[in-house]
Amino acid sequence: TELAALGWIGMTWPVEFGGGGRPAIDRLIIGEELIAAGAPIAAMWFADRQMGPTLIAYGRPDQQAEFLPKILSGETTWCIGMSEPDAGSDLASLKTSAVRDGDHWLINGQKIWTSFGEVADFCYLICRTSTDGPAHAGISEIIVAMDTPGIEVRPIKDMTTNRHFCEVFFTDVRVPIINLVGVEGAAFKQTMRQLEHERGGIDRLVSNQALYRLAVDRADRSDPLIRQEIAALEIGYRIGRILVIREVLRQAPVGFSAATKCFCTEHEARVAAFVARVYGAEATLWDDVVRGLTYAPGYTIMGGTSNVMRNIIGERVLGLPR
């Protein structure tokens, strides 16, 4: 709510939706500084890179009036029900179903790796409302209140005892038909657009930048190999930042966010490897370092694996055959 009071949530939303109407570059700058300072910015993510743009683009006026103000104020927390045990990078393979039952959807299925699932007020659920036609058809997006009967949330404890991710089970969950967002059966494109926002953000580049600075201060910079590695990482950071800025200024071609995400998260993985070499066995003595290093393998997986990003670049950006 402090970020909301400063006008840093929904700062890029159009004024008519209660936003600041500010250019996207402002959000990049503020987000970069907040992450560098270790400040919590989840509310900014929900508003500016995930739920806000989606509801503004595809939500009905009544949905916008109901949900946007509380996203803007930081009062509500959201999760996205996307990945499944058998449908991660291949979203079109998802099986969680929503079947019409009078004036409700009857939802059954399972989601996994759901960020904030344990604390979320609402789930933005990507599910299958039809099995007819191609695999990517028949996918819809539905808003589900997380206190609805039939929902079970199981936190996933990682190596650092963090409970950031969850499994979410839906058993005969009844949700009003009016909670559908956008066009029924046409949500694959809506979801891809949401991922464009997510993949091209500055947070894909700077999440371990503070840890990197600590490692640089600790490193033996009299070693020419260390200096060479630091130089390469500094150059990589600047390249990644340029890619993100191009996304923000809409100077990149459609689908190019995959290249941005791929480069930036692989840069973060290289940073983690550098930190591990600098600290060596002593890394286990520092909680922040342990958390950063154990979390590092996920950088190139979250939001789409690097291999999937390369497929998108080849097929959608370069027009190469499958």
Catalytic sites, residue numbers: 198
> CA separation (Å) from 31 to 67, 92, 136, 201?
23, 32, 33, 9
Q: Please answer whether residues 258 and 304 qualify as being in contact, where contact means their C-beta atoms are separated by less than 8 angstroms.
A: yes
Q: How far apart, in whole angstroms, are the C-alpha atoms of residue 187 and residue 60?
A: 15
145: its two tokens: 């209140």
Residue 201 φ/ψ, nearest 5 degrees: -85, 160
Among positive and negative, which fits the CA dihedral 37, 38, 39, 42? positive
Q: Please answer whether residues 275 and 293 qualify as being in contact, where contact means their C-beta atoms are separated by less than 8 angstroms.
A: yes
Task: Work out whether strand 151-156 and strand 122-128 pair parallel, antiparallel, or are unpaired.
Answer: unpaired
